[in-house]
Amino acid sequence: MTHDASVDRRRLLQLAAASAGTLWLPRSAWSQPRTAGNPFSLGVASGSPTHESIVLWTRLIAPGASQLLGKDPVTVRWEIAHDEQFARIAQSGQAQALAELAHSVHVEVAGLQPDRWYFYRFMVADAVSATGRTRTFPAPDAPAQKLRLAYASCQRWDHGYFSAWRHMREENLDAVLFLGDYIYEYPDAAKAVRVPPGGWVLTLDDYRQRYALHRGEPELQAMHAACPWLVTWDDHEVQNDYAGTVGGNSGPSVADFPARRAAAYQAFYEHMPVRASVLTKALAGVASGAEYRLYAQQRFGRLANIVMLDDRQYRDAQVCNPEGKLGSSNVNPAACPAWNDPARTLLGAAQEQWLDAAFATSGGGWTVLGQQTLFGPRAFKAAAGNVFWNDGWDGYTAARSRLTQSLQRHKVANPVLLGGDVHENWVGHVKADYSRPDSATLGVEFCGTSITSRSAGNKNIAERVAGNPHFVFADSEGKGYGVVEFTPSRLTTTLRVVDDVTRRDTKISTLRSFVVEAGRPQVLAA
């Protein structure tokens, strides 16, 4: 049999570049250069948990502005243990950190015990990473009595400090759902609390630098190391208000937006604890426009089914923008013939079909949808009548109706929609027909505020809630996150907000708390 080195190289890229990361290598194959300083200064993370597996993440960087370690691969050793002292090792191995992926590492550890907490770490030469803590979920058919999730989004670095993550670490969580806008592509902000280095984020190196800036924040690092994350993205991981392969409306235009999107998607992969399977055609596929599949579901025993969606990659472009501009606008539907076009999609046909199938087999317990934005309609009063923002579900009304019809058709148990994007807290009910307030209530919605990103303030909030009666509460001032605790009989959602996002030492408080009884989709004050 002939030995084709190019085939081996291609296969290695498919595995290591897709971060399968459980390669066993002979000691002679190790490449562990000694570096000045800590190569693990971006921390560690875990994510994509199942009942028997987890993804462990880190990225090696060199000190200084370039951060890159050179062009050679680096062998990284890893351990996952039952105890924090690593006296009882569950598994260990070695993975290749390739320059092609900025020396990031994604280790997919399988064969773990269900419903169990673990500790993990990485090693290169004599350098040892911080210790991370992670867990597996209960087996799909196992009883589970409690699940504590936090949901968060929108962490613009120049708008404030990441203090919310420090407080979240004290919440005793099972997992974090991050719902988009992990980075922003802007060079700076008016009245910036701090100014990021570099200008507009346009190239692969730009995106890598911006992720590294965020990953260097100690509060965010600590929260990544505290429990597993399930992640999706929104627009700012690429460009404000982009839609599918159509560019958005921020910063300088680029001649090849799909190439920019591919660079952004690669950088996202390099910095997130996601599985190799998201790269449906390996790294080369991202560059050529292949699907980067983030949508997925995972059961937490019989208690809950967590469904993560992607409403950016597959969507149609926004309609009825003035003068055909890119991005988003507030639109009066009466003056927009395409508003209710049944062919328009936010999730894409394949993801819609997948979601319908997921609802058909969702089982009992709670059905938790982690998705990017506000689901229920939100009308704004204007001189020409009510207007709606065309970048969210409001701009894709037929797609929203298909989702609610799917919920009804499959009699989905206890739907709970979690969202972000709007930098405000909105709490309400998911209706069968939002044009009829007396129509059936199908589920509940908690759309979260931002970690730091600014919003307009509460001047018009009371009027907006009154004009959109499917919502029961909104706030446009507090910054922070939400915590949802699920039990077989009820959920409790707590909105947590920091006192002052411009202070690293800020305190936190509870804005409001709500409860929902299982089998009764009505939001009540706790």
Mean pLDDT of the 447-470 span: 96
Tokens of 41: 């200064």
At residue 5, does pLDDT exceed 70? no
- Comparing CA positions, the residue from 317, 325, 476, 336 lying closest to residue 391 is 317
Mean pLDDT of the 206-228 span: 98
**pLDDT score of 23:** 42
The strand pairing partners of 155, in sequence order, are: none
Percent of the chain with pLDDT over 90: 86
What is the average pLDDT score of the chain? 92
Domains (range + CATH), the chain? 1-136 (2.60.40.380), 139-181+206-227+294-525 (3.60.21.70)
Could you tell me if 515 and 491 are in contact, meaning their C-beta atoms sit under 8 angstroms apart? yes
What is the torsional sign of CA 277, 279, 284, 285? positive
| SS3 (DSSP) at 7 | helix
Percent of the chain with pLDDT over 70: 93
At residue 16, does pLDDT exceed 70? no
| Model confidence pLDDT, tens digit, residues 119-128 | 999 999 999 9
Side-chain half-sphere CA neighbours of 297 within 13 A: 21
At residue 25, does pLDDT exceed 90? no
| Residue 65 pLDDT level (bands cut at 50, 70, 90) | low
From residue 184, give the alpha-carbon distance in Å to each of 147, 209, 329. Answer: 31, 12, 20
From residue 264, give the alpha-carbon distance in Å to each of 66, 78, 182, 205, 440. Answer: 18, 27, 12, 9, 41
Amino acid at 267: A
| Residue 32 pLDDT level (bands cut at 50, 70, 90) | low
**pLDDT score of 24:** 39
| Residue 6 pLDDT level (bands cut at 50, 70, 90) | very low
Compute the distance between CA of residue 507 and CA of residue 501 in angstroms, rounded to an integer. Answer: 9
Compute the distance between CA of residue 390 and CA of residue 339 in angstroms, rounded to an integer. Answer: 9
- More confidently predicted of 65 and 277: 277
At residue 22, does pLDDT exceed 60? no
- Comparing CA positions, the residue from 415, 410, 375 lying closest to residue 395 is 375
From residue 126, give the alpha-carbon distance in Å to each of 33, 190, 293. Answer: 10, 44, 36
| Residue 64 pLDDT level (bands cut at 50, 70, 90) | confident
From residue 405, give the alpha-carbon distance in Å to each of 412, 427, 431. Answer: 10, 21, 10
**pLDDT score of 174:** 98
At residue 217, does pLDDT exceed 60? yes
At residue 151, does pLDDT exceed 70? yes
Compute the distance between CA of residue 521 and CA of residue 515 in angstroms, rounded to an integer. Answer: 10
Residue 454, judged by CB atoms within 10 A of its CB (0-12, 13-18, 19+), counts as: middle
| Residue 13 pLDDT level (bands cut at 50, 70, 90) | very low
| Model confidence pLDDT, tens digit, residues 506-520 | 999 999 999 999 999
Task: Work out whether strand 480-486 and strand 471-475 pair parallel, antiparallel, or are unpaired.
Answer: unpaired
Mean pLDDT check: name the lowest of 108-112, 211-215, 279-283: 279-283
| Residue 35 pLDDT level (bands cut at 50, 70, 90) | low
